[in-house]
Amino acid sequence: MTAPTTARQLTLPDFDARQDRWQRDYTAQIGEDRRVTNRSGLEIRPLYTPVDWSGERYLNDLGFPGTPPFTRGIYPTMHRGRTWSQRQLVGLGTPEDYNERVRNLLAAGTSAISLIPCNSVFRGEDCDDIPLPLLGTCGTVINSADDMAVSLEGVPVGDISTAMNDPSPFTLLAFLLAVAKRRGVPWQRITGTSNQSDYISHFAANHMFFRLALPGARRIIVDHIAFCREHVPNWNPLSVVGQHMQQAGATPAEAMGLTLSSAIQYAEDCVARGMDVDDVLPRFTFFFDISISFFEEVAKFRAGRRIWARIARDRLGARDPRSWRFKFHAQTSGIDLTAQQPLNNIARVATQAIAGIFGGLQSMHTDAYDEAISCPTEEAARVAVATQNILREEAHLCDVIDPLGGSYYVETLTDQMEAEIEAVIAGIDAAGGMYKAVETGKVQAMLGRSALAAQERIESGAEKVVGVNCYTDDNETVVSPPPYRPDPEAMRAHVERCKAYKAGRNQGEVAKAIDALARAANDETENVFASVVEAAESGVTHGEIVGCLRQEFGFGDPLIVE
């Protein structure tokens, strides 16, 4: 934090008098000023000047891009050198539906792909155990290495980065590795991220995912990191997810603080297993929400980078500068989108995206305008990609590195957000670290409180949302687009294929692989994820792998906190 500066120190002799004059004019014109606070609860003043931020501590607090503390960006060239990866989340229908959509996105210029599985996959089930109407509405139904092969037909695995929305026990990566092996692509060439590997965030904030009790999930993530380090060295096995926290209600400062606390927990768990911190931290990535609170988000990202550099170096003892770099993917916030007047979401997404770009992200997903209603339709998905193309190609946002750096307001806000975030981390430390804080419900209670407070600000009109609590006149005349729903006949056929696949396998091999998995789960010297990969190669399905581990590790029930 910068120490307060005075006008005298700035050698601006006339400063105080002119400031007083402005203050008089301001008060005379505005009358009683309204109190403005951002989502993290910080009071926002109407004007910031060199008294708030003078640049005296430039080298300490900001420095240059690519050097600690990385406030201005983690690489020397940032977006002027290489723009962010355009990574649109995609997941719908059958593996064939996914394949068609992802090929279209590649043709439209997307530079990295992702895969969202069906909610049934998130819940750890195969499709033959799920009511048909629920299948494939929110993600792709992928239950085996064969399904993965169909999903990635014609996609150059090994040349294109792939993000798997793949919670513990990471069966989708196991299926991907099985497909790579079949195609003769060495695992060293596989790049991408286990995008949902942060079990802590699932347990606290995103109840889509968690399937295994906390201790088992803790064991598997460390096994997964260890396995990838050895066999899939260019894969990012951990993405620490602030997005879940913020979508569940955390303020931007809380989301950043909780995420950094989770990262500390993961790093400490890896070290406890005997790994060198500099072997694992360079492959840590982060994933955040970008809300429409524009400057607050920019400050959140700048402060997060600075704090992480300090934590990695001073607290975790990392010596490799790559360990200090705060690499993150970000997604425009779905909570800010409205089902009312859905085309308005295009403007919201563009605004959020610019905040993310100015915040210095490495990879981005822009939401489609109909995402408050259903999985994106083809047209809406195209507009979302085009939004990124326009911002990157037309708007000259990438010409200058950290273009808001040096703004009196943004630097002051970055300092203030830093203090807020550090207070959250200190609270989690006091609770015994992130694992304990989630186990006892401290984090869940924080999210619940903030979610309710945010909703009350919308109800009271303190927070304006166009089409929701103001400018609602058009709501009657705007027709919502029809939602995306998979073709029921194609889905029925897929379920039948899944059943036939299960019946036609070498059952001896399957039983052997499941048995090996169960034994690994009960033997601390074994790597559970290695057994998941072997099971995937032997034709074991997702539901069977999860079922086995649930039996061994227990099912994680959600903790209900008032």
Binding residues for another protein (CB under 8 A): 118-120, 122-123, 130-131, 133-134, 137-138, 206-209, 247-249, 335, 338-340, 372-374, 448, 451-452, 455, 459, 467-469, 472, 479-480, 482-483, 485, 557-558, 560
CB 455 within 8 A of CB 468: no
* 110: DSSP letter: -
Specify the residue, 54 or 120, whose C-beta has the smaller distance to another protein. Answer: 120
CA angle 5, 422, 324 (to 5 degrees): 95
Smallest distance from another protein to CB 206, Å: 7
Q: Which two tokens stand for residue 300?
A: 């959140």
- Calculate ∠ Cα 482-483-489, nearest 5°: 110
- Edge-to-edge strands of the sheet including 192-194? 235-236, 192-194, 162-164, 112-115, 85-88, 363-365, 328-332, 284-290, 238-241
Task: Output the smallest distance, CB 137 to another protein, in A.
Answer: 4
Nearer to another protein, 16 or 456 (CB): 456
Mind spelling out the 3-state secondary structure of 30-42? Answer: HCCCCCCECCCCC
We find the least distance from the C-beta atom of residue 170 to another protein, in angstroms, to be: 19
Which tokens in the block code for residue 134?
Answer: 């629920």
Smallest distance from another protein to CB 43, Å: 26
User: To the nearest whole angstrom, how small is the minimum distance from the Cβ of residue 452 to another protein?
Assistant: 6
429: which residues sit within 8 A by CB, 6+ positions away? 261
Q: Which of residues 379 and 393 has its CB atom nearest to another protein in the complex?
A: 379
Of the two residues 432 and 482, which places its CB atom closer to another protein in the complex? 482
**Ordered DSSP codes for 454-475:** HHHHHHHTSS--BTTTBS-GGG
Query: Smallest distance, Å, CB 364 to another protein?
Result: 22
User: Given the complex with another protein, which of 123 and 382 has the nearer CB atom?
Assistant: 123
Cα-atom radius of gyration of the chain, to the nearest Å? 24
Which of 129/314 has CB closer to another protein? 129
C-beta of residue 292 within 8 angstroms of C-beta of residue 466: no
- CA separation for the pair 246, 450 (Å, rounded): 9
We find the least distance from the C-beta atom of residue 248 to another protein, in angstroms, to be 6
Please say which residue, 55 or 481, places its beta carbon nearer to another protein.
Answer: 481
Min. distance of Cβ 456 from another protein in angstroms? Answer: 9
- Least CB distance to another protein at residue 194 (A): 19
Let me know: does 260 contact 425? Beta carbons within 8 Å: yes
Half-sphere CA count of 168, side-chain side, radius 13 A: 30
Task: Pick between residue 17 and residue 462 the one whose CB is nearest to another protein.
Answer: 462
> 45-59 burial, b if ≥16 CB within 10 A, otherwise e?
eeebbebbbbeeebe
* Token pair belonging to 503: 């019946």
Q: CB nearer to another protein: give 453 or 500.
A: 453
